[in-house]
Amino acid sequence: MEIAPDAHMGLVELSVSDLNRSLAYWQDAIGLHALSRENGTAELGVDTPLLRFVEEPGARPAHGFTGLFHVALLVPDRPSLGRFLAHTARERIPLTGLSDHDVSEAIYLRDPDHHGIEVYADRPRELWEGQVAQRMTTIPLDAGSLLAEAGDAGFDGLPEGTRMGHVHLCVRDVDETIGFYRDRLGMGLTAQLGDQAAFLSAGGYHHHIGGNTWETRGAEPAPEGTARLLRFTVVLPDDQEVARVAEQIGGTEVLDPSGNPLVLAAAA
């Protein structure tokens, strides 16, 4: 049975090697706000918590393991994305990519622990809905056009309404990933790149979950001692839908076939 069409992504929890360093980067470079901090943990967001960090001193980057490819912060509109790009240029914040995916425009970065980050804005849904497999691509971003959208406004952090748009995972096998997220969780498969990547969503969105094997085909989950994905959340409309989906996947806290930890939660 399909997952509720208004299901969406929620809080993502990551381990980090130095909490002070992570907070400085995610506040100053990315523009989130620290909402709480205690006992080696902290939550960041805008108007709601989006990320939770758990300090694991000395943790090393988790290269070559399944886990997080990137978290994707969805800003409300194109001018917001333009202001973020202008901010990265002014502050000389290193980027790892600038991409036009047709369904969206995206800016890519890595934090000090090499956690991948995407900050993106969607193109109007009526342009791509029902055509994701045919339209989603990766071409160079028109940075000049995007910067022109920024206007003269400065950057005072990511705007209200910023949310966790999707979570892209490193997986060991695409077919088994589809088998879990489509056939058990109930998301729709919106696009697939053979045995390299798959994109799935609720309610016809271009993707809430991505999974690729580009560097992790057949790999094991990231172990303790690495800066890694600790859990990510799929938010469902109510407790009844949580119970129904939990029965399909075997609980409210489960591991996907690649060992990625998924939590189901009801909307507040």
Q: Does residue 2 sit within a domain?
A: no
Is 39 inside any structural domain? yes
Report the alpha-carbon distance of residue 175 to residue 244 in Å, rounded. 24
Range of the domain at 81: 8-266
pLDDT the model gives residue 202: 98
**Per-residue pLDDT at 90:** 95
Determine the pLDDT at residue 89: 96
Q: Is residue 71 part of a domain?
A: yes
pLDDT band at 152 (very low <50, low <70, confident <90, very high): confident
pLDDT digits (tens, 9 = 90+) for 34-45: 999 999 999 999
CATH code, domain with 203: 3.10.180.10
Q: Which residues, including other chains, have CB under 8 Å from residue 253's CB and lie 6 or more apart? A: 231, 261, 262, 263, 264
pLDDT of 1 strictly over 90: no
For residue 1, being part of any structural domain is answered with no
Residues contacting 16, CB < 8 A, separation 6+: 22, 53, 54, 55, 56, 59, 111, 112, 113, 115, 227
3 belongs to a structural domain: no
- Band of residue 167 on the pLDDT scale cut at 50, 70, 90: very high
Q: What is the mean pLDDT of the chain?
A: 97
Residue 194 inside a domain? The answer is yes
Residue 153: CB atoms within 10 A of its CB come to 11
Amino acid in position 62: A
Number of domains in the chain: 1
18's tokens: 């130095």
Q: What is the pLDDT of residues 105-144, one digit of tens each?
A: 999 999 999 999 999 999 999 999 999 999 999 999 999 9
| Burial class, 199, CB count within 10 angstroms (exposed 0-12 / middle 13-18 / buried 19+) | buried
Q: Which of 118-132, 144-158, 184-198, 200-214 has the lowest mean pLDDT?
A: 144-158
pLDDT band at 176 (very low <50, low <70, confident <90, very high): very high
Kind and range of the H or E run holding 226: strand 226-227
CB 211 within 8 A of CB 60: no
Within-domain flag for 141: yes
pLDDT at 268: 86
For residue 151, the model assigns a pLDDT of 82
